[in-house]
Amino acid sequence: MNSNQPYETLDPQDWEKMRTLAHQMIDDSIDYLADVAERPVWQPVPEAVAATFKTPVPDQPADPAEVYDEFLTNIFPYSMGTIHPRFWAWYMGNGTIMGALADLMASVMNPNMGGGNHAASLVEIQVLNWMKQVTGFPEEASGLLVSGGSMANLVGLTIARNTLAGVDVRRQGIQSMAKKLTVYASTEVHSSNQKAVELLGLGSDCLRKIPVNADYTINLQALRDSIDQDLRSGFQPICIIATSGTVNTGAIDDLPAIADLCDEYGIWFHVDGAIGAIAMLSDTVREQLTGIERAHSIALDLHKWMHVPFEAGCVLVRDEKAHHDSFALTPEYLLKAERGLASGPAWFSEYGIQLSRSFRALKVWMTLKEHGTQRLGRMISRNVDQAQYLGQLIENSANLELIAPIGLDIVCYRFNPGDKSEEALNDLNREILLELQEQGIAAPSSTILSDRYCIRVAIANHRSRYEDFDVLVETAIRIGHSILA
Ligand SMILES: *Cc1c(COP(=O)(O)O)cnc(C)c1O
């Protein structure tokens, strides 16, 4: 061994150079966010830039500063736009600088949140306890931080299936069931629930999609009829999925009525609250969510309306034992100890699918500490108010029309000059949306409601100002007329 050569590891050869670079990254991050409103919300990645991602896997080391330079040139300028005050597409949060810094610190510590006795486990336990407090869940309930609402729904529905199947599904599989299991949700249910039902081996035919009322909430009579019909036909109903904040229009299903139905039929009450559950923080919305505390399981998304950087979702489960029974599997190499590293209360790997897990709890913990529930709640209340403000602008303008009742913070509307066929209106509004995005002005997304294409504005955005909606409406009308001309 040549003692003149530095011992090779993946650490920087020069820590002081790395310190300088790291400081530069932080400075760039802060400038990036502080100036975000001045930049276009979105711009396409130029072809020449896209071409740089076709190089083969690097086989030699490079200077970290050069690697970072490449990031600055080819990646940083072409963000999705979620950080911008006029980003209202799909349903996303903005993130925060503290959330991003928490991710940095979490990665620096690099714990594996599968389990073990270390401070990070205590952080996740505390975050889960806070989420129980926010939703009115009992202290003995269990939970898990997950990648997002999709995973939270999958975990919740897995426990529902395993608990109510009437056979030992983990051992015998769904093959052993005499009756087919059925799950109920409205036609507005998020696709992640269907994926979960498919993954659980039940088949999407067994997810009964119940019609909705004019306000896009589940029709309770149709729901009851469907369950009764299935019981008569020899199916075994196991779960109703209520949505608190549907993705299309922000509708909140009648949670107390669904809780009653689940009690009556002895089935699992799962709430997909990826959009709305965290609005329990808002003094103006909380009442609409009454009944959520009666759920057997709730899916929450913290990277949406709580603005924790992606990924951060949460599932809460009323029956800790049912939760543990669905996922715990302890091979000899994961044995726990009374003392030492393998002791400790939190074996998160026994409550979900992942073994190795990131320390996403830190960004949630820091976000809640930095802002507190009241300020986070005010951000939610303001978005709801901004949705009403936008609704007023639409109603006051001759060429715009609302396509659905405004639920929570979601507004669906279209440009309608009055003399066009439905098909022409769909084409026209599709083009308006593309122009809004391509001109970098605003980024709503779209949906289709009763065959009508509409521009969908989902305002989970702590940076949006009321003026931003004036800009949206003025520009959409101007673009509409210029396309017609
Ligand atoms: C976004 C969303 C999901 C999926 O959550 P992810 O965080 O994207 O995995 C599920 N349900 C609803 C109602 C949603 O809006």
Contact 410, 250 (CB under 8 A): yes
Confirm or reject: Cβ of 190 under 6 Å from ligand 1.
yes
Look at residue 4 and tell me whether its pLDDT is greater than 90.
no
Domains and CATH numbers, the chain: 111-358 (3.40.640.10)
Q: Which residue is it, tokens 């976000």? A: 367
Confirm or reject: Cβ of 92 under 6 Å from ligand 1.
no
Distance 399 CA to ligand 1 centre (A): 32
Confirm or reject: Cβ of 273 under 6 Å from ligand 1.
no
Distance 304 CA to ligand 1 centre (A): 9
Contact 399, 477 (CB under 8 A): yes
Q: What is the mean pLDDT of residues 134-149?
A: 98
The residue type found at 307 is H
Distance 193 CA to ligand 1 centre (A): 9
Confirm or reject: Cβ of 409 under 6 Å from ligand 1.
no
Q: What is the mean pLDDT of residues 57-64?
A: 97
The residue type found at 343 is S
Nearest CA to ligand 1 atom 10: 149
* Beta-bridge partners for 443: 87
Q: What percent of the chain has pLDDT over 90?
A: 95
Who contacts 155 (Cβ-Cβ below 8 Å, separation ≥6)?
Answer: 144, 146, 297, 299, 315, 317, 327, 351, 352, 353
At 317, which helix (H) or strand (E)?
strand 313-317
Contact 83, 94 (CB under 8 A): yes
Helix axes 149-164, 320-327, angle to 10 degrees: 100
Which two structure tokens, joined as six digits, stand for 171?
């051992």
- Ligand 1 atom at minimal distance to the Cα of residue 148: 7
DSSP state of 244: B
Q: At 77, give phi and psi (nearest 5°).
A: -70, -15
Distance 197 CA to ligand 1 centre (A): 15
Q: What is the mean pLDDT of residues 390-395?
A: 98
What's the pLDDT tens digit per position in 291-323?
Answer: 999 999 999 999 999 999 999 999 999 999 999
Look at residue 3 and tell me whether its pLDDT is greater than 70.
no
Distance 274 CA to ligand 1 centre (A): 5
Contact 193, 229 (CB under 8 A): no
Distance 275 CA to ligand 1 centre (A): 7
Look at residue 2 and tell me whether its pLDDT is greater than 90.
no
What is the C-alpha separation between 300 and 314, in angstroms, rounded? 5
Confirm or reject: Cβ of 150 under 6 Å from ligand 1.
yes
* Across 146-155, 170-179, 363-372, 473-482, least confident range: 170-179
What is the C-alpha separation between 180 and 174, in angstroms, rounded? 9
Cα 273 versus chain centre, distance: 9
Which residue stretches of 280-360 are H helix?
320-327
Q: Which residue is it, tokens 């029956």? A: 319
pLDDT of residue 1: 54
Q: What is the mean pLDDT of residues 144-170?
A: 97
* Across 16-20, 208-212, 330-334, 414-418, least confident range: 330-334
Which of 92, 191, 275, 303 for a ligand 1 pocket mutation test, highest count of atoms within 8 Å of Cβ?
Answer: 275
Distance 307 CA to ligand 1 centre (A): 14
Distance 34 CA to ligand 1 centre (A): 28
Confirm or reject: Cβ of 446 under 6 Å from ligand 1.
no
* Beta-bridge partners for 415: 400
Nearest CA to ligand 1 atom 12: 274
- Ligand 1 atom at minimal distance to the Cα of residue 275: 15
What is the C-alpha separation between 321 and 239, in angstroms, rounded? 18
Q: What is the mean pLDDT of residues 408-424?
A: 96
- Ligand 1 atom at minimal distance to the Cα of residue 301: 7
Confirm or reject: Cβ of 275 under 6 Å from ligand 1.
yes
Confirm or reject: Cβ of 230 under 6 Å from ligand 1.
no
What's the pLDDT tens digit per position in 85-133?
Answer: 999 999 999 999 999 999 999 999 999 999 999 999 999 999 999 999 9
Distance 41 CA to ligand 1 centre (A): 22
- CA 368 vs CA 306, 375, 383: distances in Å: 9, 9, 19
Count Cα atoms within 13 angstroms, Cβ side, for 171: 4
| Residue 147 confidence class, pLDDT cut points 50, 70, 90 | very high
Look up the pTM and report it.
0.97
Distance 192 CA to ligand 1 centre (A): 7
DSSP state of 90: S
Q: What is the mean pLDDT of residues 327-347?
A: 89
Q: What percent of the chain has pLDDT over 70?
A: 99
Angle at 303 between CA 302 and CA 305, to 5 degrees: 70
DSSP E strands in 80-215: the ranges are: 87-88, 142-146, 181-186, 207-210
- CA 94 vs CA 144, 271, 276, 310, 424: distances in Å: 23, 24, 16, 9, 34
What's the pLDDT tens digit per position in 238-285?
Answer: 999 999 999 999 999 999 999 999 999 999 999 999 999 999 999 999
Contact 63, 88 (CB under 8 A): no
Angle at 90 between CA 89 and CA 95, to 5 degrees: 75
